[in-house]
Chains A and B, each alone.
Chain A
Amino acid sequence: MSNEQFLTLTFILGACLALGLGLATYGWLRRPFLEIAASLRFPRLASIIRKLFPVTKLLAALLGFVSVSYYGGCPSRSYVAIVADRHYVVARNQEQIATALAYLVVAVLLWGLLLTVILRVTRRPAASRAGEP
């Protein structure tokens, strides 16, 4: 395998792994999240956050992945130097996955905060939750 093929392959695998991490996060939180959404008083808002939840997880993972530059800091590397050094390519891949994980952590914490605010503002009164008039 040539160095260019290695670079392309590791980039695609890294992107797939980052997306997989986003999907896994969504899958792990999906059921309790839907239960929270079902308890809200406004069905439209519940529908909106149900759709936004997976999107933000995937976006956070991808944002972390694409925010790492292969050109490096100062002085920046040339494309030829990047392709020639497989260790450097692997290190950038590791950094991409680490950044995707960090962005997912931030996304989960922000959703926790957002749900707290939404629950405080829009939760059904206790009587109507229990099915009483």
Chain B
Amino acid sequence: MLLYNLLGFVVLIVVSVGIAVLIYQLLHRDLRDLLSPALKIPGGTSFYLRALLIVLLFSALAGSVGKEFSLKPESAFIEYVWAINSGLKDVFQNSLLSLLGYLALITVVVATLKPKNE
């Protein structure tokens, strides 16, 4: 693998991990406040928060790890950018689908376990 191919691959991995961590940072406080009254077990809230991090991280990594970088040495710089773009498409797609799946899960958790008088 060419050095630039390897570099493009590493950039894609770093960006996808960054996106997953950013989404987690945006959501985790509100999610903790939402889940704590419903689950009423300290480990319960922690389980679903850790599950969110795993879901976001692994789905983003699944999109980026599967991307092939096989550009030739004479390739232009912008071709590497396009290759990263192409990888990001899978990262965003996987992140979106997994977020929707997680949202459906949390809806079921809250609807099922939240006390009726709240």
A101 to B61, CA, bound (A): 7
A106 to B, closest residue via Cβ: B101
Q: Is A128 an interface residue (CB 8 A)?
A: no
Chain B interface, DSSP helix/strand/loop, else mixed: helix
Q: A97-B65, A102-B62, A112-B47 are in contact. List 13 more A-B contacts (CB 8 A).
A: A33-B43, A35-B43, A35-B44, A87-B70, A97-B66, A101-B62, A105-B58, A109-B101, A112-B48, A112-B105, A113-B105, A117-B112, A119-B44
Q: Is A47 an interface residue (CB 8 A)?
A: no
What A residues does B55 contact at CB under 8 A? 105, 108-109
Tell me the smallest distance from the CB of B69 to a CB of chain A, in Å.
10
7 contacts between A and B (CB under 8 A): A28-B53, A32-B50, A97-B66, A98-B63, A108-B58, A112-B48, A126-B40
A39 to B47, CA, bound (A): 13
Check B58 against A36 for contact (C-beta < 8 Å). Answer: no
Where the two chains meet, the residues of A that have a C-beta atom closer than 8 Å to any C-beta of B are: 21, 25, 28-29, 31-36, 38-39, 87, 90-91, 94-95, 97-99, 101-102, 104-105, 108-109, 111-113, 115-117, 119-120, 126
Tell me the smallest distance from the CB of A112 to a CB of chain B, in Å.
5
Check B43 against A34 for contact (C-beta < 8 Å). Answer: yes
Check B62 against A98 for contact (C-beta < 8 Å). Answer: yes
What A residues does B112 contact at CB under 8 A? 116-117, 120
What B residues does A94 contact at CB under 8 A? 65-68
Interface bin, chain B = 35 or more
What A residues does B42 contact at CB under 8 A? 32, 35
Q: Is B21 an interface residue (CB 8 A)?
A: no
Check B105 against A109 for contact (C-beta < 8 Å). Answer: yes
What A residues does B105 contact at CB under 8 A? 109, 112-113, 116
